Amino acid sequence: MGYDVTWFVTEPPEQYKCAICTDVFCDPVTTRCGHTYCRACITEWLSTTRQCPECRDPIAAHDISNVPVAFKQLVNALQVTCPEEGCGDIMALDALDKHREKCVTEKRPCPQCHSELFKREMAQHNCIQHLKAIIEERNQHLKEVTAVKDKRIAGLEEELRLEKIKATEARNQLMKSIHAAVEAENQKTEVWKADLKAEVQEGAGAVSEL
């Protein structure tokens, strides 16, 4: 669980390599018998074996201690190249972990088209293709938005058509009702006029008899 030896600018000395994972120490610790390993490596080793991987002396978890500060500083000062795709920055080993966190999460603007990209995307980035993809994506979005609007407009037009039909039917029904009411009133008027005429004629006959 150490650092891959291929990341280093120069081949690390053997004394800086863990005998369990064969990589450069990550958080090195030393055993009671004087051997140094990655903390994670020796912890996992002791979960199944109670012997030193090298000299086979019996050891347990409580026999593990931190390496001297000076040794740790020597390991941390080794120069490494960032292994993340498209990066290649060189730094001291103790700065690698924080650098990699930013390397895979932070974007940088392309110097040509100013598109925000991860470092791993820079190497194969093509400004023309990237901008073309953005335009196509926006055109597709515009088509989708337009389709939604057109569908909504069509729906509103259909609602308006139906409302017009309802209004026409209501107007026709109202006209029929008015016409029927007028006809009924006309009929009443005609009856009244006929009754009145009969009464007048009857009155006139009575007068002539006198």
Higher per-residue pLDDT: 116 or 80: 80
pLDDT at 87 over 90: no
CB atoms within 10 A of CB 24: 22
The answer to whether 28 and 38 are in contact (CB under 8 A) is: yes
Domain extents in the chain = 5-122, 126-210
Region 129-137: mean pLDDT is 84
Higher pLDDT, 95 or 85: 95
* Mean pLDDT score of the chain: 87
Considering just the CA atoms, what is the radius of gyration of the chain in Å?
A: 49
Nearest to 125 by CA among 81, 86, 84, 83: 86
Tokens of 24: 């450069």
pLDDT of 123 higher than 90: no
Identify the DSSP state of 11: P
Portion of the chain with pLDDT greater than 70, in percent: 89
Q: Percentage helix, strand, coil, to 5, in the chain?
A: 60, 10, 30
- Least confident range from 5-9, 70-74, 125-129, 206-210: namely 206-210
pLDDT at 127: 79
For the domain with range 5-122, which CATH number is right: 1.10.8.50, 3.40.50.620, 3.30.40.10, 3.40.50.360? 3.30.40.10
Count CB neighbours of 89 within 10 A: 14
Residue 117 pLDDT greater than 90, yes or no: no
